[in-house]
Structure 1
């Protein structure tokens, strides 16, 4: 069995390309041939990297970035020259460049379409891309999502439910250094740390998490990691509510430091408000560290499937700071309930969201495709 994944870019900047890369490494570790073809990020040079005897990363140069899409025309010629060598092409959506490359490749074999999310914000891009997207939906032998909820409720997939399945995202369990976590706790005087992490953009709903801090007493501190265009706006909100001692915007946190913040936290909060947040990998990181979660009930998103109510955490309505605060208090003020969520959340992670689970489910579906 030889698999080629196409889509997104390298080096890794987001969830989709992390899934591709982790899946490639996981499959190749089981001696399944899995290569990856993608565009480069920013000024990263075109290159071919042989990761191991069963995995090769082929990075094509990006000529221009348009509407969050890396345009790398060399992907077309490269795919035309190698497509016949693979039993299955596993294409990751949304990525118009990858879809165009597949359309022009002349490939006649099996196709798995990994539908990570709908195109929501780029309306003009979607208008131009829709005919190609419709071709891809019809061309795919199997369409998989990351949760059963998202693929069941996406308006783009309503006519393709006969060939739908899902592969939950899986990650290696996150571990943290106890001493580093303790140092962070000490720097905030051992207050209850409510941790959140993500780009400071509208759909992350951080303004509602900041609003939640107004309803928490001084035994709590909210730490928000990440950078983005809303930094000044969020700082103004913090100042307006006089929450400078209770809410901290941490800015960019280096990858090696992130586990310590999970370790130091009391619980994790995902405050996103629209289904651009399709899954929420940060929830897996929190579960693997034994941290309960407060997340939001985003319409048509899989976030509330990942964080299961009363098992790994609590779920509240979107755009409701008071509801977030009440859920935080329910979890943190009941020690028995808190401990239950810690144990059950870790178990949920191990049962559903490990890298091994993602690799095994992918292999199962690859075999299913090839047997048809």
Structure 2
């Protein structure tokens, strides 16, 4: 019998009080800063408690204080103003009636996406240090030994906060890597694992680079990895998680670039843990890529497949979760697999397809499935 650890991608549903505070700040409205801090501290404690109650081994702060996993950097770094153009994913453009239905239902988050209009520099690590303190206090309170904190990759920042200042994309990526380096190092120095969110390695193919062919896109993605690895040059690889994503939305996803074409790029990241989607219907079959290319998976890589979906309110049966896990333990062994989720449950503050209570029911199913897979290993 083996023990298979459990985790998730990071973001979790936020309470309405948290959302109200975040959007007051986002809109530049007056708000109680002391009340904001107290609310975030209490919310992180409750989020960690719920994760622990569900049996999650490696927890996060749920990205509670962030407006979103990528655009939070506009508040922590200089050089951003105005607004970036919006690019609907190519698959949604193929089905305009569905795209309109999403817009009409309020299913498209509205939040600031400024352009890069000046030099990108850190404003200091104060907000990050508060997030770290809240997570560590919650972990101590609820008896959780291991936690991780999300951070935006240089590539995903360039996807959502587009370049209007640097002469080239490469120069912008280099500036972002230099700016984000301290954030990454601060998280690890605090005793937490660092997760880099990298939808730029997949989602941006059909969002920002739809006019390129796959081979041309892979070259761009590899430049993103070079920038990321530079930013991680002083971070121990064993403390790094990288998450690749095709977009955390219910939609056709028929324009998603296959995992087979991104496999080498993902494996080239300076990370011990690689998190990827295997539960949704568009990517559930791609476990075979890892099976067929087993010899190309570096010996130090730990696979963290998503074994519960984050865009539907179905609660997966633990036996199905176990089957999904076993596909990967059969490839690399139980000691090199951690059970995860396809994506986050609260990628944008105030928006999420999955009901908050159901999100934690899914995490419970994840841990129950991991226990069954561990018993069979």
- The two structures have a TM-score, normalised by structure 2, of 0.30
- The two structures have a TM-score, normalised by structure 1, of 0.30
Structure with greater strand share of residues: 1
Structure with greater helix share of residues: 2
Higher relative contact order (CA 8 A, sep 6+): 2
